[in-house]
Amino acid sequence: MLNKNHHTHFIKSTAAQLGFHYCGIAKAIQLDDDARRLESWLQQGFHGNMQYMENYFDLRIDPRKLVPGAKSVITLLLNYFPAEQQQNNAPKIAKYAYGKDYHDVIRDKLNNFIQIIKQNIGDINGRGFVDSAPILERTWAVRSGAGWIGKNGNLITKQQGSYFFIATLITDLDLITDDAFAKDYCGTCTRCIDACPTNAIKENKVIEGSRCISYFTIELKDEIIPTEMQNKFEHWMFGCDICQDVCPWNRFSKPTNENAFTPIPEILNLSTEEWNTMSEEAFKKIFKSSALKRSKYKGIQRNLKFLEADVELKV
Protein backbone atom coordinates (compact mmCIF):
# COMPACT_ATOMS: atom_id res chain seq x y z
CA MET A 1 0.00 0.00 0.00
CA LEU A 2 2.94 2.27 0.74
CA ASN A 3 4.21 1.86 -2.83
CA LYS A 4 0.70 2.41 -4.17
CA ASN A 5 0.42 5.73 -2.33
CA HIS A 6 3.91 6.77 -3.33
CA HIS A 7 3.40 5.85 -6.98
CA THR A 8 0.08 7.70 -7.15
CA HIS A 9 1.60 10.85 -5.63
CA PHE A 10 4.55 10.60 -8.02
CA ILE A 11 2.27 10.27 -11.05
CA LYS A 12 0.22 13.32 -10.10
CA SER A 13 3.18 15.52 -9.21
CA THR A 14 4.96 14.56 -12.44
CA ALA A 15 1.85 15.40 -14.46
CA ALA A 16 1.81 18.87 -12.91
CA GLN A 17 5.51 19.36 -13.65
CA LEU A 18 4.86 18.49 -17.29
CA GLY A 19 2.23 21.23 -17.52
CA PHE A 20 -0.99 19.22 -17.27
CA HIS A 21 -3.55 21.10 -15.18
CA TYR A 22 -5.42 17.97 -14.13
CA CYS A 23 -4.46 14.36 -13.48
CA GLY A 24 -7.04 11.80 -12.39
CA ILE A 25 -6.99 8.02 -12.15
CA ALA A 26 -9.64 5.36 -12.79
CA LYS A 27 -9.55 1.57 -12.62
CA ALA A 28 -9.09 -0.14 -15.99
CA ILE A 29 -12.32 -2.02 -16.68
CA GLN A 30 -14.62 -2.79 -19.59
CA LEU A 31 -17.12 0.01 -20.31
CA ASP A 32 -20.34 -1.90 -20.89
CA ASP A 33 -22.71 1.10 -20.77
CA ASP A 34 -20.56 3.04 -23.21
CA ALA A 35 -20.45 0.05 -25.51
CA ARG A 36 -24.23 0.14 -25.82
CA ARG A 37 -24.29 3.91 -26.40
CA LEU A 38 -21.52 3.74 -29.00
CA GLU A 39 -23.22 0.90 -30.83
CA SER A 40 -26.49 2.87 -30.99
CA TRP A 41 -24.67 6.02 -32.18
CA LEU A 42 -22.96 4.11 -34.97
CA GLN A 43 -26.16 2.35 -36.00
CA GLN A 44 -27.84 5.73 -36.45
CA GLY A 45 -25.04 6.80 -38.79
CA PHE A 46 -24.11 9.86 -36.72
CA HIS A 47 -20.43 9.32 -37.61
CA GLY A 48 -21.03 10.13 -41.28
CA ASN A 49 -17.97 9.34 -43.40
CA MET A 50 -15.78 8.77 -40.33
CA GLN A 51 -15.61 5.03 -40.96
CA TYR A 52 -12.70 4.66 -38.55
CA MET A 53 -15.21 5.07 -35.72
CA GLU A 54 -16.52 1.61 -36.58
CA ASN A 55 -13.11 -0.02 -36.23
CA TYR A 56 -11.69 -1.74 -33.15
CA PHE A 57 -14.96 -1.66 -31.23
CA ASP A 58 -13.69 -4.12 -28.60
CA LEU A 59 -10.58 -2.00 -28.00
CA ARG A 60 -12.64 1.15 -27.51
CA ILE A 61 -14.56 -0.33 -24.60
CA ASP A 62 -11.76 -2.16 -22.79
CA PRO A 63 -8.33 -0.54 -22.18
CA ARG A 64 -6.92 -3.90 -21.07
CA LYS A 65 -7.05 -4.98 -24.70
CA LEU A 66 -4.93 -1.99 -25.69
CA VAL A 67 -2.42 -2.48 -22.88
CA PRO A 68 -2.25 -6.08 -21.63
CA GLY A 69 -2.31 -6.24 -17.85
CA ALA A 70 -3.58 -2.67 -17.54
CA LYS A 71 -4.77 -1.72 -14.06
CA SER A 72 -5.08 2.07 -14.25
CA VAL A 73 -6.32 4.65 -16.75
CA ILE A 74 -4.78 8.08 -16.14
CA THR A 75 -6.59 11.11 -17.56
CA LEU A 76 -4.60 14.28 -18.22
CA LEU A 77 -6.02 17.67 -19.19
CA LEU A 78 -4.06 20.40 -20.94
CA ASN A 79 -5.53 23.88 -21.23
CA TYR A 80 -5.42 25.52 -24.66
CA PHE A 81 -7.57 28.62 -24.18
CA PRO A 82 -5.80 31.48 -26.01
CA ALA A 83 -5.06 34.91 -24.56
CA GLU A 84 -5.65 36.47 -28.00
CA GLN A 85 -8.51 36.16 -30.46
CA GLN A 86 -8.78 36.45 -34.23
CA GLN A 87 -9.76 39.71 -35.84
CA ASN A 88 -13.52 39.93 -36.28
CA ASN A 89 -13.68 39.78 -40.08
CA ALA A 90 -11.34 36.81 -40.55
CA PRO A 91 -12.51 33.30 -41.46
CA LYS A 92 -12.96 31.62 -38.08
CA ILE A 93 -10.64 28.90 -36.81
CA ALA A 94 -11.30 26.74 -33.74
CA LYS A 95 -9.16 27.87 -30.82
CA TYR A 96 -7.53 24.47 -30.39
CA ALA A 97 -5.76 25.03 -33.73
CA TYR A 98 -4.29 28.47 -32.97
CA GLY A 99 -0.83 27.16 -32.06
CA LYS A 100 1.21 24.05 -32.80
CA ASP A 101 -0.58 20.79 -33.53
CA TYR A 102 -1.64 19.44 -30.14
CA HIS A 103 -1.04 15.86 -31.26
CA ASP A 104 2.69 16.55 -31.53
CA VAL A 105 2.86 18.64 -28.36
CA ILE A 106 1.01 16.15 -26.14
CA ARG A 107 2.64 13.07 -27.69
CA ASP A 108 6.04 14.46 -26.67
CA LYS A 109 4.77 15.09 -23.15
CA LEU A 110 3.34 11.57 -22.87
CA ASN A 111 6.53 9.94 -24.12
CA ASN A 112 8.48 12.02 -21.62
CA PHE A 113 6.02 11.06 -18.88
CA ILE A 114 6.45 7.33 -19.54
CA GLN A 115 10.24 7.64 -19.53
CA ILE A 116 10.17 9.48 -16.20
CA ILE A 117 7.93 6.78 -14.71
CA LYS A 118 10.25 4.01 -15.90
CA GLN A 119 13.32 5.80 -14.56
CA ASN A 120 11.79 6.33 -11.13
CA ILE A 121 9.40 3.41 -10.59
CA GLY A 122 10.63 0.63 -12.88
CA ASP A 123 9.96 -1.07 -16.18
CA ILE A 124 6.19 -0.61 -16.24
CA ASN A 125 3.99 -1.31 -19.24
CA GLY A 126 2.21 1.82 -20.41
CA ARG A 127 0.99 3.65 -23.48
CA GLY A 128 -0.06 7.25 -23.94
CA PHE A 129 -2.81 8.33 -26.32
CA VAL A 130 -4.15 11.59 -27.70
CA ASP A 131 -6.67 11.02 -30.51
CA SER A 132 -4.38 8.24 -31.67
CA ALA A 133 -6.26 5.12 -30.60
CA PRO A 134 -9.82 3.92 -30.04
CA ILE A 135 -10.28 5.27 -26.52
CA LEU A 136 -13.40 6.78 -24.94
CA GLU A 137 -11.36 9.50 -23.28
CA ARG A 138 -14.29 11.60 -22.06
CA THR A 139 -15.76 8.66 -20.17
CA TRP A 140 -12.42 7.99 -18.52
CA ALA A 141 -12.14 11.68 -17.66
CA VAL A 142 -15.49 11.55 -15.84
CA ARG A 143 -14.49 8.31 -14.11
CA SER A 144 -11.28 9.99 -12.94
CA GLY A 145 -13.18 12.90 -11.38
CA ALA A 146 -12.27 15.59 -13.93
CA GLY A 147 -15.78 16.82 -14.70
CA TRP A 148 -19.02 15.95 -16.48
CA ILE A 149 -20.13 15.53 -20.08
CA GLY A 150 -22.09 18.60 -21.18
CA LYS A 151 -25.08 18.65 -23.50
CA ASN A 152 -22.66 19.60 -26.29
CA GLY A 153 -20.73 16.35 -25.76
CA ASN A 154 -17.67 18.10 -24.34
CA LEU A 155 -16.07 17.39 -20.99
CA ILE A 156 -16.71 20.38 -18.72
CA THR A 157 -14.88 21.23 -15.48
CA LYS A 158 -16.14 23.58 -12.78
CA GLN A 159 -12.72 25.22 -12.55
CA GLN A 160 -11.96 26.11 -16.18
CA GLY A 161 -14.82 25.12 -18.46
CA SER A 162 -14.05 22.98 -21.50
CA TYR A 163 -11.16 24.49 -23.46
CA PHE A 164 -8.62 21.74 -22.88
CA PHE A 165 -7.23 18.65 -24.55
CA ILE A 166 -7.74 15.22 -23.03
CA ALA A 167 -4.82 12.78 -23.02
CA THR A 168 -4.94 9.23 -21.70
CA LEU A 169 -2.18 7.09 -20.22
CA ILE A 170 -3.00 3.41 -19.73
CA THR A 171 -0.61 1.49 -17.48
CA ASP A 172 -0.20 -1.74 -15.54
CA LEU A 173 0.69 0.29 -12.45
CA ASP A 174 -1.71 -0.32 -9.58
CA LEU A 175 -2.66 3.17 -8.41
CA ILE A 176 -5.16 4.78 -6.02
CA THR A 177 -8.22 5.75 -8.03
CA ASP A 178 -10.15 9.01 -7.80
CA ASP A 179 -13.89 9.19 -7.25
CA ALA A 180 -15.89 9.53 -10.43
CA PHE A 181 -17.53 12.91 -11.06
CA ALA A 182 -21.12 12.17 -10.14
CA LYS A 183 -23.02 15.41 -10.79
CA ASP A 184 -24.16 17.15 -13.97
CA TYR A 185 -23.96 20.94 -13.63
CA CYS A 186 -25.58 21.82 -16.96
CA GLY A 187 -28.98 21.90 -15.29
CA THR A 188 -31.73 23.26 -17.50
CA CYS A 189 -29.34 25.33 -19.65
CA THR A 190 -29.72 24.71 -23.39
CA ARG A 191 -27.50 27.47 -24.78
CA CYS A 192 -25.29 25.09 -26.76
CA ILE A 193 -28.30 23.31 -28.26
CA ASP A 194 -30.00 26.59 -29.16
CA ALA A 195 -26.83 28.12 -30.66
CA CYS A 196 -25.79 25.24 -32.93
CA PRO A 197 -26.64 26.45 -36.46
CA THR A 198 -26.70 22.95 -37.98
CA ASN A 199 -28.75 21.29 -35.21
CA ALA A 200 -25.98 18.78 -34.55
CA ILE A 201 -26.66 18.67 -30.79
CA LYS A 202 -29.50 16.31 -29.96
CA GLU A 203 -31.21 15.42 -26.69
CA ASN A 204 -29.52 13.33 -24.01
CA LYS A 205 -26.02 14.53 -24.92
CA VAL A 206 -26.08 12.84 -28.31
CA ILE A 207 -24.12 14.61 -31.05
CA GLU A 208 -24.89 13.95 -34.69
CA GLY A 209 -21.29 14.20 -35.76
CA SER A 210 -22.14 14.24 -39.45
CA ARG A 211 -23.98 17.57 -39.01
CA CYS A 212 -21.24 19.34 -37.03
CA ILE A 213 -19.41 22.23 -38.69
CA SER A 214 -16.13 20.64 -37.57
CA TYR A 215 -17.06 17.49 -39.46
CA PHE A 216 -17.70 19.37 -42.70
CA THR A 217 -14.63 21.62 -42.47
CA ILE A 218 -12.14 18.96 -41.31
CA GLU A 219 -13.33 15.36 -41.52
CA LEU A 220 -15.27 15.49 -44.78
CA LYS A 221 -12.90 14.97 -47.71
CA ASP A 222 -15.44 15.45 -50.51
CA GLU A 223 -14.71 18.19 -53.02
CA ILE A 224 -18.05 19.88 -52.32
CA ILE A 225 -19.81 20.59 -49.02
CA PRO A 226 -23.53 19.72 -49.22
CA THR A 227 -25.63 22.70 -50.30
CA GLU A 228 -28.13 22.02 -47.51
CA MET A 229 -25.48 23.41 -45.14
CA GLN A 230 -25.27 26.68 -47.07
CA ASN A 231 -25.53 29.79 -44.91
CA LYS A 232 -25.20 27.78 -41.67
CA PHE A 233 -21.46 27.91 -40.99
CA GLU A 234 -21.40 31.43 -39.48
CA HIS A 235 -18.00 32.05 -41.12
CA TRP A 236 -16.22 29.04 -39.57
CA MET A 237 -13.43 27.89 -41.89
CA PHE A 238 -11.76 25.23 -39.71
CA GLY A 239 -13.60 23.57 -36.84
CA CYS A 240 -16.17 25.36 -34.70
CA ASP A 241 -16.32 26.70 -31.13
CA ILE A 242 -19.93 27.91 -31.03
CA CYS A 243 -21.17 25.39 -28.45
CA GLN A 244 -18.16 26.16 -26.24
CA ASP A 245 -18.25 29.92 -26.70
CA VAL A 246 -21.86 30.10 -25.46
CA CYS A 247 -21.32 27.74 -22.51
CA PRO A 248 -21.61 29.67 -19.20
CA TRP A 249 -18.91 27.50 -17.63
CA ASN A 250 -16.33 28.88 -20.04
CA ARG A 251 -16.46 32.24 -18.32
CA PHE A 252 -13.93 30.56 -16.01
CA SER A 253 -11.50 29.82 -18.84
CA LYS A 254 -7.97 31.08 -18.24
CA PRO A 255 -5.29 31.61 -20.90
CA THR A 256 -2.95 28.66 -21.32
CA ASN A 257 0.63 28.72 -20.06
CA GLU A 258 1.74 26.27 -22.74
CA ASN A 259 4.11 28.15 -25.06
CA ALA A 260 3.51 25.67 -27.89
CA PHE A 261 -0.08 26.88 -28.08
CA THR A 262 0.88 30.51 -28.64
CA PRO A 263 -1.19 31.53 -31.68
CA ILE A 264 0.49 31.52 -35.07
CA PRO A 265 0.42 35.23 -36.08
CA GLU A 266 -1.21 34.53 -39.45
CA ILE A 267 -4.14 32.76 -37.77
CA LEU A 268 -4.89 35.88 -35.76
CA ASN A 269 -4.20 38.45 -38.46
CA LEU A 270 -4.92 37.17 -41.97
CA SER A 271 -7.92 38.70 -43.72
CA THR A 272 -10.32 36.76 -45.93
CA GLU A 273 -8.62 38.17 -49.00
CA GLU A 274 -5.19 37.07 -47.78
CA TRP A 275 -6.49 33.57 -47.11
CA ASN A 276 -7.98 33.43 -50.60
CA THR A 277 -4.80 34.53 -52.34
CA MET A 278 -2.41 32.35 -50.31
CA SER A 279 -0.38 29.91 -52.40
CA GLU A 280 -0.09 26.23 -51.52
CA GLU A 281 3.64 26.69 -50.96
CA ALA A 282 3.02 29.49 -48.46
CA PHE A 283 0.32 27.45 -46.71
CA LYS A 284 2.64 24.49 -46.24
CA LYS A 285 5.41 26.72 -44.91
CA ILE A 286 3.29 28.77 -42.49
CA PHE A 287 1.21 25.88 -41.15
CA LYS A 288 3.75 23.04 -41.25
CA SER A 289 3.40 22.58 -37.47
CA SER A 290 -0.31 23.44 -37.28
CA ALA A 291 -3.43 21.30 -37.02
CA LEU A 292 -4.68 23.13 -40.14
CA LYS A 293 -2.53 20.82 -42.23
CA ARG A 294 -5.09 18.12 -41.45
CA SER A 295 -7.49 19.76 -43.91
CA LYS A 296 -4.63 20.43 -46.32
CA TYR A 297 -4.49 23.40 -48.66
CA LYS A 298 -7.15 21.90 -50.89
CA GLY A 299 -9.60 21.50 -48.00
CA ILE A 300 -9.03 25.04 -46.74
CA GLN A 301 -9.66 26.45 -50.22
CA ARG A 302 -12.85 24.40 -50.51
CA ASN A 303 -14.05 25.74 -47.15
CA LEU A 304 -13.26 29.33 -48.16
CA LYS A 305 -15.26 28.97 -51.37
CA PHE A 306 -18.18 27.61 -49.38
CA LEU A 307 -18.05 30.64 -47.07
CA GLU A 308 -17.83 32.97 -50.07
CA ALA A 309 -21.04 31.45 -51.40
CA ASP A 310 -22.67 32.24 -48.05
CA VAL A 311 -21.73 35.90 -48.44
CA GLU A 312 -23.07 35.98 -52.01
CA LEU A 313 -26.37 34.47 -50.85
CA LYS A 314 -26.73 37.12 -48.17
CA VAL A 315 -26.07 39.87 -50.71
Q: What is the pLDDT of residues 226-242, one digit of tens each?
A: 999 999 999 999 999 99
Q: Using CA of residue 159, residue 161, residue 167, residue 169, what is the dihedral sign?
A: positive
- pLDDT per residue as tens digits for the range 195-215: 999 999 988 788 888 899 999
CB 146 within 8 A of CB 178: no
Beta partners for residue 295, in sequence order: none
How many other CB atoms are found less than 10 A from the CB of residue 264? Answer: 18
pLDDT mean across residues, the chain: 89
| Cα maximum dimension of the chain | 70
If one compares 243 and 204, the residue with the highest pLDDT of the two is: 243
Rounded Cα gap, residues 142 and 148, in angstroms: 6
Q: Is 174 among the residues known to form the active site?
A: no
Its domain, for residue 185, covers 1-315
Give me the pLDDT at residue 252, please.
Answer: 96
If one compares 59 and 291, the residue with the highest pLDDT of the two is: 291
| Identified catalytic residue from 34, 62, 104, 131 | 131
Residue 186 confidence class, pLDDT cut points 50, 70, 90: very high
Give me the pLDDT at residue 134, please.
Answer: 58
User: How many structural domains compose the chain?
Assistant: 1
The mean pLDDT value for 243-269 works out to 97
Give the predicted TM-score (pTM) of the model.
0.90
The number of C-alpha atoms within 13 Å of 268 and in the hemisphere containing its C-beta is 11
